[in-house]
Structure 1
Amino acid sequence: MPHDCSTPQIPGGIYPFDARGVARRFRHAAIFGALEALHPGEAMRFCNDHDPLPLLAQIQHRYGPYIRITYVSREPGQVVIDFLATGEQAAQ
């Protein structure tokens, strides 16, 4: 049976994204690309080794209400955040 990368492996339309395996210089570009690929109602479950506060500020500025940010875990060394595509557009 072939693998379909467009189908989430976690029920509920949640796609995993482990930033710890992405070179630091590529992380933000990869994260923004992944967020822009989400359809309304889908989420990206982001894992990182630290709390990415500057990145979160960039996401809020860039996407506004289109991306909802929810912490799943804030444990040292394993921060997990869900980014949900809401379908709402940012105010122009």
Structure 2
Amino acid sequence: MSHPLVTTLDVRTLLPRERHARIFALFDDLAPGAALELVNDHDPQPLYHQLKAQHPGRFSWNYVEQGPQIWRVRIDKESSGDCCGGCTCR
């Protein structure tokens, strides 16, 4: 059984103003079927809503750990099913 590629990003080491830009850059670079595991010091619900607005239906969001000190979320990039491969929708 193969496991999709998972990239882990611990945003606790980043300045708060840098976090979302870094997360979105990594998400945009993920291939369909790959995942980003986010490690944070709080529940990243605002990020979920931002992803949902910008990438509706393109990801799944699963909590791996839910605080109180550490939050881990696995964000899997879904395939759109109609991607031509020549744009940034991957």
Separation in 2, partners of 1:12, 1:62: 23
What residue in structure 1 maps to residue 57 of structure 2? 65
2:37 aligned residue (36, 45, 52): 45
Within 5 Å, which residues of 2 pair with 1:17-32?
17-32=9-24
Instruction: Give ranges in structure 2 of 5+ residues lacking alignment.
Output: 82-90
Secondary structure of residue in 2 paired with 1:60: helix
Question: What is residue 4 of structure 1 aligned with on the other side?
Answer: none
Contact preservation (8 Å) 2:32, 2:77: yes
CA deviation string 1:69-92 (max 9, x = no partner): 111110212100001011127xxx
Runs of 4+ in 1 over 3 A off after TM superposition: none
Q: Percent identity, please.
A: 29
Distance 2:63 2:36 in 1: 12
Paired letter, 2:11: A
Aligned pairs, number: 79
Give the unaligned 5+ runs of structure 1: 1-10
Matched position secondary structure for 2:57: helix
CA RMSD of aligned residues (A): 1.3
Contact kept in structure 1, 2:43 and 2:67, CA below 8 Å: no
Q: TM-score, normalised by structure 1?
A: 0.80
TM-score computed with the length of structure 2 as normaliser: 0.82
